[in-house]
Structure 1
Amino acid sequence: MPAGPSVPAVPSYEVRALAGIPEVRPGDDLARLIAAAGPALRDGDVLLVTSKIVSKAEGRIVRAESREDAIDAETVRVVARRGALRIVENRQGLVMAAAGVDASNTEPGTVLLLPEDPDASAAAIRAGLRELLGVDVGVIVTDTFGRPWRSGLTDVAIGAAGVRVLDDLRGGTDDRGNPLSATIVATADELAAAGDLVKGKANGLPVAVVRGLGHVLGEGSAAADLVRAPADDMFRLGTSEAVREAVTQRRTVRAFTDEPVDPGAVRRAVAAAVTAPAPHHTTPWRFVLLESAQARLELLDAMRDAWVEDLRRDGKSEESVAQRVRRGDVLRNAPYLVVPCMVTDGAHDYGHARRDAAEREMFVVAMGAGVQNFLVALAGERLGSAWVSSTMFCRDVVRKVLGLPEGWDPMGAVAVGHAASAPAQRPDRSAEAFIEVR
């Protein structure tokens, strides 16, 4: 009988918990404990080791007056805070709840910290098993994480040795020939989650073995590679932290690169600006976007001429005039200009000087709120800006050059662009210096 067509092998793997590992104490040799519980380990197996027993073996048990004190000590940066819950970046560079500090399954008055270097811990276990059993296995140290956008917890890899933690499929194609341009699989995290299904949280089974996936073994990779770089992290802060960061980290930027400004980003900033409060349900904001170099040059030249005329009328020397005019270079050198204008349609006319002055001030305050929203939103778009008051001193000139209605009052100009360098740090200001309580 002729042989029939061969049937391709169906991919499969086995994951099982490793029984027989005793309570781990400081100084224990984890590789020896695992080898005793799993003498039948084979080349190509992947061990999934709960971080808790690694921490215990490495003596990462500390006395703490409170878990919160320990979290403080392990925290590098607070990412988000909601009530007592804190998501932080810890000293290992991991972003997780409570810095990974664990108060369960440890003596009262003590807490468990994560391993000092989880990748090194995984490498030590792997080397020990090679020496004891003569096997080449991969080792992943796991811990429990929550995840953005998803409810529930799962185990992920925080340390790895002998495993390719990421499978970069970019440059390949799918089964229909479509190019894969963004697919990078977190293999180590997938393995960690699979192991968690059989280890459990309270079953006394801190190690699992995956068999049948020997192709994931490889050198030169570490769990640290799974941590997204700050520059690529679009969700580096929680909601309230991001708002506070945007407001407090906004800086006046006076030097820009030649990189073009995305007009869409400016329009998104305008959309944020017009959510500011305003009197009588009015909308007093208008934003003139000077996107062409010709429009910017015509306006700035006309403003310069008007300023020179004012300064000469003030009796300033030509040297003083030239020096002061140079202050306008921040607008001239910016790749994009915006002129915020105020309109007072809907303002009440009281026919009374004091009340009419207060009415206009309400609109000016609303305009300032809109401009601040605009500048903060630009910062959120990674754009630098500088608000300069010059258009307020020659409003007729600005209206004429830009063809604006008579009722539009230019309220300065905003230079926009990509900052040529990082702005200097601003000293913290105590709120108390600006507060009076009655």
Structure 2
Amino acid sequence: MTRPPVTPTSDREPTAIQVFGVHGIGEVRPGDDLAALLKEEDLRDGDIVVITSKIVSKAEGRVRQGSDRTEAIEEETDRVVARRGDTVISQTRHGFVMAAAGVDASNTEPGTVLLLPEDSDASARRVRAALGGRVGVIISDTFGRPWRHGLTDVAIGAAGVRPLEDFRGGTDTHGNPLNATVTALIDEIAAAAELVKGKLAGVPVAIVRGLAHLVTADDGPGVRPLIRPADEDLFRYGSRDVVFARRTIREFSSAPVDPEAVRRAVAAGIAAPAPHHTTPWRFVLVESAETRSRLVDAMREAWIADLRGDGFTEQSITKRIRRGDVLRNAPYLAVPCLVMDGSHTYRDDRRNAAEREMFVVATGAGVENFLVQLAVEGLGSAWVSSTMFCRPVVREVLDLPESWDPMGCVAIGHAAAPPRDRAPRDAADFYVTR
């Protein structure tokens, strides 16, 4: 095929871009040298080679025997983002958020599934080096897009191609400042290459010509700059998984807590159900470091006094009061309180006790909403309920009305490390049917 040359008007903007499919590659097997399959091509300095990840996976032996795709998805998943029926959106250990953790049962032999390359950036670097380093290389895969139908190819690995174009700090043609415009160049190139590859045409590689100004002398950072960290993802939890996002965090980093995030968690807390259309929740947000220290010290002294009165040894007391360490080390505390405003008074103690229990349950529902929303906000938390053993002390330190009943203390902050996995629980062990 005769390919007309491209003459850019400058070193930044070409007059035209050409995209060619590479035909005749055939079935790729484990151990195949992808670069060797491309060396016969008329590659020119500044070309960008876009390779479908499937053939990279095949060449690297990322073929899993067995047709159980569900098990493979679980093994490749670092975090489940959302589920609906059999559809799972997962974050892989590479940081990609995608359907089925990138596990693919198409274009592979029956009884096998394909896994993503172990390190697509490294794969791209190896191919580029074998091709002489004068071209850019992109490894692409197909992703869905939130809020849009249809799939498109994006880059999951790259070498020798500038990944982003950052326009922030510049102005548009009308002089308006650009504050958020960062273009994903390698994703745009991957999508353009897919136009000539296609899903059924058996063309797994394309050459993009005319973008030599994006090809770099070194391998560059790969796709890392495009991967949004989970704590920056506003939609990182699906509706079915958000409850499980709440984990008890006992070690916090020094990162400050955004008070507005805690206030949004309070708004979630007071959305809980309550009896008689009441609002039995009050949240004391302890934002002063001095007040936090006084509160934890006062509770600690009250706990020690109680334990000594109960005859515990000093060794046992030291062990038991370690519950307060998570509160002392947290950068932010919240004290959920119960108020009985709007409760009914009955003639007998049995119904009055049940009335209080209804309000306690409603407060617990509010606390759980609060903890879950903290997780949605990217904050870790630990609920220390033993505050209830020293309610008068808490009221005194925080200057609370007598009618406010402290129901615990919540330590809040950014997790210093990922939480440990939950112990497995089978829901069937916790219900009966009648």
Question: Do the structures match in fold with TM over 0.5?
Answer: yes
Q: Which residue of 2 aligns with 1:234?
A: 233
- Once the two structures are superposed, residues 87-141 of structure 1 have per-residue CA deviations (whole angstroms, 9 ceiling, x without a partner) of 23446554322333333344433444444543344344444544xxxx9322222
Contact 1:79 1:241 in 2 (8 A): no
Q: Which residue of 1 aligns with 2:20?
A: 17
Q: Which residue of 2 aligns with 1:88?
A: 90
2:384 to 383, 387, 392: 387
Q: Counterparts of 1:317 and 1:62 in 2: how far apart (Å)?
A: 57
Q: Which residue of 2 aligns with 1:207?
A: 205
1:265 to 232, 239, 261: 261
Alignment of 1:146 with 2:144, yes or no, is yes
Does the C-alpha gap of structure 1 residues 265 and 163 become closer, same or farther in structure 2, counting only changes over 3 Å?
Answer: closer
Deviation at 1:340, TM superposition (A): 2.6
Deviation at 1:311, TM superposition (A): 8.2
- Once the two structures are superposed, residues 239-294 of structure 1 have per-residue CA deviations (whole angstroms, 9 ceiling, x without a partner) of 146413333x124x4x7677654332221121111122211222111223344466
Deviation at 1:211, TM superposition (A): 1.7
Contact 1:24 1:56 in 2 (8 A): no
Q: Counterparts of 2:69 and 2:61 in 1: how far apart (Å)?
A: 17
Contact 1:199 1:205 in 2 (8 A): yes
Q: Which residue of 1 aligns with 2:6?
A: none
Q: Counterparts of 1:328 and 1:63 in 2: how far apart (Å)?
A: 50
Report which stretch shifted further, 42-51 or 101-110. Answer: 101-110
Report which stretch shifted further, 295-304 or 358-367. Answer: 295-304
Q: Which residue of 2 aligns with 1:347?
A: 343
Q: Counterparts of 1:177 and 1:390 in 2: how far apart (Å)?
A: 57
Q: Counterparts of 1:301 and 1:370 in 2: how far apart (Å)?
A: 27
Report which stretch shifted further, 181-190 or 192-201. Answer: 181-190
1:162 to 160, 163, 171: 160
What SS class does the counterpart of residue 377 from structure 1 fall into? Answer: helix
What SS class does the counterpart of residue 143 from structure 1 fall into? Answer: strand
Deviation at 1:78, TM superposition (A): 3.5
Deviation at 1:70, TM superposition (A): 4.4
Q: Which 5+ residue runs of structure 2 have no aligned equivalent?
A: 1-8
1:286 to 274, 282, 288: 282
Contact 2:67 2:113 in 1 (8 A): no
Deviation at 1:146, TM superposition (A): 1.1
Does the C-alpha gap of structure 1 residues 153 and 405 become closer, same or farther in structure 2, counting only changes over 3 Å?
Answer: same
Does the C-alpha gap of structure 1 residues 263 and 23 become closer, same or farther in structure 2, counting only changes over 3 Å?
Answer: closer
Report which stretch shifted further, 156-165 or 172-181. Answer: 172-181
Does the C-alpha gap of structure 1 residues 25 and 412 become closer, same or farther in structure 2, counting only changes over 3 Å?
Answer: closer
Q: Counterparts of 1:77 and 1:234 in 2: how far apart (Å)?
A: 13
2:248 to 247, 250, 257: 250
RMSD value over aligned CA atoms?
Answer: 4.2
The one-letter code matched in structure 2 to 1:18 is G
Q: Which residue of 1 aligns with 2:219?
A: 220
Q: State how 1:8-407 maps to structure 2 within 5 Å.
A: 11-18=14-21, 20-26=23-29, 29-36=33-40, 38-39=41-42, 41-57=43-59, 60-61=62-63, 63-90=65-92, 94-130=96-132, 136-169=134-167, 183-218=181-216, 219-221=218-220, 223-226=222-225, 228=227, 230=229, 232-234=231-233, 237-240=236-239, 242-247=241-246, 249-251=247-249, 253=250, 260-292=256-288, 336-381=332-377, 382-390=379-387, 393-395=390-392, 404-407=400-403
Q: Counterparts of 2:301 and 2:74 in 1: how far apart (Å)?
A: 58
Q: Counterparts of 2:124 and 2:417 in 1: how far apart (Å)?
A: 40
- Once the two structures are superposed, residues 374-402 of structure 1 have per-residue CA deviations (whole angstroms, 9 ceiling, x without a partner) of 2333344414344344456444x665675
Contact 2:163 2:226 in 1 (8 A): no
Does the C-alpha gap of structure 1 residues 21 and 233 become closer, same or farther in structure 2, counting only changes over 3 Å?
Answer: farther
Q: Counterparts of 1:341 and 1:352 in 2: how far apart (Å)?
A: 26
What SS class does the counterpart of residue 242 from structure 2 fall into? Answer: helix
Deviation at 1:234, TM superposition (A): 1.8
Q: Which 5+ residue runs of structure 1 have no aligned equivalent?
A: 1-7
Deviation at 1:352, TM superposition (A): 1.8
Larger Cα Rg: Structure 1 or Structure 2?
1
The one-letter code matched in structure 2 to 1:250 is T
What SS class does the counterpart of residue 360 from structure 2 fall into? Answer: helix
Normalising by structure 2, we get a TM-score of: 0.77
Does the C-alpha gap of structure 1 residues 173 and 141 become closer, same or farther in structure 2, counting only changes over 3 Å?
Answer: same
Does the C-alpha gap of structure 1 residues 376 and 387 become closer, same or farther in structure 2, counting only changes over 3 Å?
Answer: farther
Deviation at 1:357, TM superposition (A): 1.3
Contact 1:159 1:222 in 2 (8 A): no
Q: Which residue of 2 aligns with 1:5?
A: none
Report which stretch shifted further, 64-73 or 185-194. Answer: 64-73
Does the C-alpha gap of structure 1 residues 298 and 75 become closer, same or farther in structure 2, counting only changes over 3 Å?
Answer: closer
The one-letter code matched in structure 2 to 1:206 is P
Does the C-alpha gap of structure 1 residues 115 and 257 become closer, same or farther in structure 2, counting only changes over 3 Å?
Answer: closer
Report which stretch shifted further, 70-79 or 214-223. Answer: 70-79
Contact 2:272 2:369 in 1 (8 A): yes
Contact 1:246 1:380 in 2 (8 A): yes
Does the C-alpha gap of structure 1 residues 344 and 127 become closer, same or farther in structure 2, counting only changes over 3 Å?
Answer: closer
Does the C-alpha gap of structure 1 residues 242 and 223 become closer, same or farther in structure 2, counting only changes over 3 Å?
Answer: farther
User: Number of paired residues?
Assistant: 420
What SS class does the counterpart of residue 88 from structure 1 fall into? Answer: strand
